[in-house]
A and B are shown apart, each in its own frame.
Chain A
């Protein structure tokens, strides 16, 4: 198989650093090379026609001696296509960012260029184009969290014709919104807005609810995800009692009056609470908490579903001010805005009457304290966005409907009322006589029958107020378990702990995990309309992700049957479960599941597997080609991940760094593909040191690469120590930008080579 070599001069720039003429004659003499072509700029349109003309005359394999693949790969592939050649037959030597720019000595750089050229020619001889297979993604979506965001997305997806699974940790759908009787800015009844929608969602065909369930394990497949969830046993008695539906809410501690408002969920089976539920006289819960309508037939235990895309909409939890003295939470009449919302709910614990928890008396002096757990470096740095309007709404509702004579003071830091209709609502509250005062809270304490609030005003002067009830506007925090969930789906978390988008401005629904989208308050504090808007967008993104077919190279390993004894190690190491070994047959690969990481190839103890374009033999062939050209200078063989490793060396070039030309990279698609036998072969053939450049742990594109090679390195180091082999070997876990660490590690290796 012969190869043509294209030398791109990069407008003459490369010739300033490298002896191009010598390299051309070197290439001409290298076995397997049939044609030498020169162009001034492989990446430009101007040169393109000439290049196509020249390339189409030659053999079907092409080695391009040019610049970084991020610039010239696409244009060169296009040239190959126009020349009637398969673009997979292209091998690029990055002679600029990874050679000319980083090695100032012309002679040294030219020698390294020879090594890279020769290795690339070896590679080009071996590569063989693979077939492309395409298949549909699993036509179903998963939504985690059945709050307003999750349900909105579910509804949209069903309308798009996508089957939807909803996993909800609580026994009922609905989330936080139905527990708040009125919404801002128009004081609408939430259940009037959402109740009918929720009921219709429960009966909509194509949607399957898995309530009382949590995601346990996530496995990625090319078609999407295999998600295993655990459904907990449901201890709650959900049988309708005398036509009164199935309440899920109760006031606990019945003897002490309405002190504590608690939702009853099966995760905390509290006997008293359960009794309170079953004996409750509240009959409206069927609409408020349609748990009774839920399908609870699903048996507890672990189950696995397959989906093509995922929306995480796991919501928020209220900041818990317990135990922080200045806010007085724990005193009987200090409650949160959420608890106040429950009191104001006509079907809540007090039947909609705003009563003091301590004595069920009507509070005439109410003080609301803003920014509890928000905009506070000690707790949460950011603004929780919704609490100003929640306080204004509650104050307005009390003044208008509950207790017009009440004296309400809102102690704020800044009032943020920037949404549609918000300013009008703020003004209305002021007109209704709600007091707004700037106040930084110093303490809330008992003051006789009442509560005393100490604060500093806007001028920094200490002030005090008395109140019958204090309402804390607590901020939003990520809900329990969202860190673990994000980890399972490989979604990043922001410093705040909320789930992180790829970009907060232009890609605020997509995450770094392809096919996983985020919506609602799990991405950060927001109000209902914003959550709903984001959920709609997430539904669209998730649906469109499903509609794009997956295209994939059938580049799975091939089995050398003579060498295979069916030990089954390949099947067990595969991170993608792509290998099966039928009775009395050889291993079979699922082209769809296999990502061609090469872990099975490098783990096969009999060398019975080979990857088409990155295999065990090809690595050895490149190593040997390089070492044949080795001169007096110590040579550090760099086995580099084709992703992060390549980008790292590019970055070193872009940023004007220089390093020893004795470092010669051999790219491996993943460290998973690298066998210790390859490493040892490099040492045996004359490498003075070896450096492995893999991805940062947990960021390996093929799951196991870095971890595996670290295990290998640990053993080889010990084995070298035991046997007295001094060749230094180092592994660098690196992202594409960690140039400083790379240069340091390389420097250390050079020093070790000198010593050894």
Chain B
């Protein structure tokens, strides 16, 4: 009987809800194991000792979260980063493109609907959003925003039965049924700008689809429902910078890209979920 912890840090509980969406599988897991800490389900105040599997949602944005993740690591045999925020920093990681103080001022002083002029001081913010791997060793990641329920079930059942889970090493395109003819539009556009051909590869049609630079295994639900892949599963296994991998691919494809490519427009698409873990942000952090 393994002792399981499920916790949310700088995230929005979506991944924890996804974990609870395991349905029957959850029943099987809970029957055979013990959920010892899960604020979404149980009222527990302290991080318990002797954790077998810690499932962590959300990244690290303040010193409180930093302390918690360190405490969990000390007490847990296995740490799983659940979802894009825990694994790569997630969408909040895009905030790292701006200065922390400037952001606090924008949100708490200038943003509509906020209590003007009161910048909270009870928590000490870190200058940047971080994936948990920046503070502790992470044993497994279950990527996605939110993660696929099947991935969560597979990882948990494999680990709990003592097997090593195996992951897809390749890209979303592997599962995408859209037809690829090898001919590309030379102008880039975003999905809301025009109505795409329903059967043809979106990238070939010029829509900025992150599928090629995004780890597969999700079954490509977004391209199949007419949306571009946003890259929520992060970079493929042997690649350390998702946005850069995409730029390499795009500059190889379209030498015209350099004239068209407005970084202000596309940086949040190249790195929507992975900016906080990117090499470029590491370099930027070093300079600060």
Contact = CB atoms under 8 A, between A and B. Distances in A.
Contact of B244 (A566, A568, A680): A680
Interface stretch (A377-385, A653-661, A707-715): A707-715
Contact of B236 (A606, A716, A723, A725): A606
B247 A712 contact: yes
A606 B171 contact: yes
A605 B238 contact: no
A64 to B, nearest CB: 33
Interface residues of B, number: 46
Contact of A604 (B211, B249, B261): B249
B180 A725 contact: no
A606 B239 contact: yes
A658 B160 CA distance: 64
A180 B249 CA distance: 58
B179 to A, nearest CB: 10
A606 B248 contact: no
Interface in B256-270: 257-258, 261, 263-264, 267
Pick the most buried of B237, B257, B263: most chain A CB atoms within 10 A of its CB.
Answer: B263
A603 interface: yes
- The CB with the most chain B CB atoms within 10 A, among A600, A604, A683, is that of A604
A724 B241 CA distance: 17
Contact of B248 (A560, A677, A714, A722): A677
Contacts of A599: 252
A688 B236 CA distance: 28
Contacts of A675: 244, 248
Dominant secondary structure of chain A at its interface with chain B: helix
B170 A562 contact: yes
Interface stretch (B9-17, B77-85, B191-199, B276-284): B276-284
B279 A684 contact: yes
A584 to B, nearest CB: 11
Interface in A697-720: 704, 707-708, 710-712, 714-716, 718-720
B97 interface: yes
B174 interface: yes
User: What is the predominant secondary structure among interface residues of chain B facing chain A?
Assistant: helix
Chain A interface size, as a band, is 35 or more
A339 to B, nearest CB: 48
B283 A567 contact: no
Contact of B253 (A573, A710, A727): A573
B255 interface: yes
A565 B173 contact: yes
Contacts of A126: none
Contacts of A573: 249, 252-253
Interface in A591-611: 599-600, 602-608
A563 interface: yes
A564 interface: yes
B281 A565 contact: no
B183 A711 contact: no
Contacts of A708: 251-252, 255
B284 A605 contact: no
Nearest to B282: A684
A725 B247 contact: no
B183 A677 contact: no
Interface of B: 97, 169-174, 180, 182-184, 201, 211-213, 216, 236-241, 244-249, 251-253, 255, 257-258, 261, 263-264, 267, 279-284, 287-288
14 contacts: A565-B171, A567-B174, A571-B182, A603-B249, A604-B248, A606-B169, A606-B238, A607-B238, A680-B244, A684-B282, A704-B252, A715-B261, A719-B280, A722-B264
Given A722-B263, A723-B280, A724-B284, 6 more contacts: A573-B249, A602-B252, A603-B253, A677-B239, A716-B247, A724-B287
